[in-house]
Amino acid sequence: MNKSLKSSTSFSLASKVKDYFQLIKFTLSFTVVFSCVICYLLAPNIVDFDLKMIVLLFVAGMLVTGSANAINQASEKDTDALMKRTGKRPVANGRMSQREAYTFALIAGIVGVFLMYQYFNTASALLSAFSLFLYSYIYTPLKKVSSVSVLVGAFPGAIPCLIGWVAATNAFSPFAIVEGTSISNAAGWALFGIQFLWQFPHFWAIAWVAHNDYDRAGFKLLPGGNEPTRSTALQAIAYAVMMVPLGLLPFYFGITGTVSMWIVIAANVFIVAQCVRLYIDMDVKAARRVMFSSYIYLPVVFLALLADKIPVSG
Mean pLDDT of 150-175: 96
| Backbone dihedral region for residue 119 (phi beyond 0: left; psi -120 to 50: alpha; all else: beta) | alpha
Segment 64-74, tens digit of pLDDT: 999 999 999 99
| Separation between Cα atoms, residue 217 and residue 80, nearest integer Å | 7
- Per-residue model confidence (pLDDT) at position 313: 54
CATH code, domain with 89: 1.10.357.140
Q: Say if residues 249 and 172 touch (Cβ distance below 8 Å).
A: no
Q: CB burial class (10 A; 0-12, 13-18, 19+) of residue 55?
A: exposed
Q: Kindly tell me if the per-residue pLDDT of 187 is higher than 80.
A: yes
Check residue 133 and give its pLDDT: 97
Ranking 40-54, 124-138, 169-183, 219-233 by mean pLDDT, the lowest is: 219-233
In a domain, 10, yes or no: no
- Are 249 and 187 a contacting pair, CB within 8 Å? yes
| CA 222/CA 235 separation, integer angstroms | 10
In a domain? residue 271:
yes
What's the mean pLDDT in 8-12? 64
Q: What is the pLDDT of residue 163?
A: 98
Q: Report if residue 194 sits inside a domain.
A: yes
Query: pLDDT tens for residues 222-261?
Result: 887 678 899 999 999 999 999 999 999 999 999 999 999 9
Reported confidence tier of residue 7, pLDDT bands at 50, 70, 90? low
Q: State the Cα–Cα distance between residues 258 and 150, nearest whole angstrom.
A: 33
Assess if residue 189 is contained within a domain: yes
What pLDDT is stored for residue 214 in this prediction?
85
Identify the domain containing residue 233 by its residue range: 15-307
The mean pLDDT value for 40-46 works out to: 95
- Contact 112/128 with Cβ under 8 angstroms? yes
Q: Is pLDDT above 70 for 116?
A: yes
Does 230 fall in a domain?
A: yes
9 within a domain of the structure (yes/no): no
Task: Report the pLDDT value the prediction gives residue 80, as an integer from 0 to 100.
Answer: 87
Q: Mean pLDDT over residues 10-37, rounded?
A: 89
In the chain, how many domains are there?
1
> CA-to-CA distance for 114 and 122, rounded, in angstroms?
9
Q: Does the structure show a pLDDT above 70 at 3?
A: no
Q: Is the pLDDT of residue 5 over 80?
A: no
Residue 102 CB: number of other CB atoms within 10 A? Answer: 17
Read off the pLDDT of residues 83-100 as tens digits, 9 standing for 90 and up.
888 888 999 998 999 999
Mean per-residue pLDDT of the chain: 92
Tell me whether residue 31 is in a domain.
Answer: yes
Question: Which pLDDT band holds residue 9 (cuts at 50, 70, 90)?
Answer: low
Comparing 14-18, 101-105, 296-300, the range with the smallest average pLDDT is 14-18
**Roughly how many angstroms between the first and final C-alpha of the chain, as a whole number?**
69
Q: For residue 171, what pLDDT band results from cuts at 50, 70 and 90?
A: very high
Give the single-character DSSP code of 184: B
CB atoms within 10 A of CB 301: 26
Domain assignment present for 177? yes
What CA–CA distance (Å, rounded) separates 293 from 229? Answer: 20
d(CA 89, CA 77): 9
Residue 29 reports pLDDT greater than 80: yes
The rounded percent of the chain whose pLDDT value lies above 90 is: 79
Q: How many angstroms from the chain centroid is the CA of residue 225?
A: 24
Model pLDDT, residue 217: 82
